Chains A and B, each alone.
Chain A
């Protein structure tokens, strides 16, 4: 049955070459923890991606209840956390995932750095990776405001004041991020849009480039 379905699609779209390309690409011994236990350091990138998947999924589900409005944002978060079954788990996954993804990415960055894997010809992939790091920090910063509780609000006030300290463009950058002079309704709407559409869009593009380059260039050799 499954085989027939596969053949039906394959006849029309010729998917076998793509599938074999993914399934048969070889993974060298030195990144395989089953051969050398120390190779577990090569798992951090994969785990970062795994947490990213969890973040995207749990974030999608959270928006089923969340409203980005200063009157109702807090109420809706309180509701989904305390009234909805498993709400505390789904929000918990998103909350802890945000920290874990930073931890995993930090470890992954250190691994790539100390194994010298960013050297020629992989310079561009490193640059893309650091850009992913920045996007993740941006996601953390914008996501922190969304529950609109005390911690969220004042952390954002401080964050935007740091942005304002930038010479020349600081005031402009702050007004752009906050959507005006006041950190309030417009800031929340903006942060929501950035957190849910702009940065994830950028993230997916960068991740695609990251993975494409890994497949194209292969994993860097053993030290």
Chain B
């Protein structure tokens, strides 16, 4: 039998088998390692705990700044980080806005600029948001401020993680 009678020569067959075996070895080695490296990206976002931030009678129609401390688990390192929320009452509903500007992540302030009352103002690029967190057209941000998940139990206001709108 000469090699010409076959569609696949002996050498081609060996080469295919060789790459197959090589691929198997590479997969066997690299698959666990790749999954290991990808773990943080594939891990579903952990539910954040609710933290008591304020009592109901402190809140007004006017957004007020509240600082609160949450326990943050970062791999093998746990620490306490301070978060900020702008909280106010709208039709007796508690609204808690994240102060992180949706443009480039600076911190916004309620009535942070004298020229724009009744607005959240970002000092970095002059981004502005309405009282309910909606971004004002014509300023850099392209989406509203994130809101915190809110739970009210009795007189206490608890905040959880932030949600994009």
Contact = CB atoms under 8 A, between A and B. Distances in A.
A–B contact with Cβ pairs below 8 Å: the answer is yes
B75 A76 contact: yes
B13 interface: no
B125 interface: no
Contact of A57 (B29, B42, B75): B29
Interface string B63-85: 00000000000011100000000
A152 to B, nearest CB: 17
A215 B27 CA distance: 28
A132 B36 CA distance: 30
A89 B28 CA distance: 11
Contact of A75 (B30, B32, B77): B77
Interface residues of B, number: 12
A84 interface: yes
B33 interface: yes
B33 A84 contact: no
Contact of A85 (B29, B36, B76): B36
Contacts of B42: 85
B39 A85 contact: yes
Nearest to B28: A54
B36 A86 contact: yes
A119 interface: no
A57 B42 CA distance: 21
B37 A61 contact: yes
B32 A93 contact: yes
B49 to A, nearest CB: 18
B76 A78 contact: yes
A199 interface: no
B33 A58 contact: yes
B35 interface: yes
B33 A72 contact: no
A32 B30 CA distance: 28
A73 B37 CA distance: 18
Interface in A55-72: 57-58, 61, 64-65, 72
A90 interface: yes
A54 B36 CA distance: 15
A137 to B, nearest CB: 24
Contact of B76 (A54, A76, A90): A76
A198 interface: no
Contacts of B37: 61, 64
Interface of A: 53-54, 57-58, 61, 64-65, 72, 75-76, 78-80, 83-87, 89-90, 93
11 contacts: A53-B29, A64-B36, A76-B75, A76-B76, A85-B36, A85-B39, A86-B36, A89-B36, A90-B32, A90-B33, A93-B33
Interface of B: 29-30, 32-33, 35-37, 39, 42, 75-77
Given A65-B75, A76-B76, A85-B36, 12 more contacts: A54-B29, A58-B33, A64-B37, A72-B76, A72-B77, A75-B77, A84-B39, A85-B35, A85-B39, A86-B32, A86-B39, A90-B33
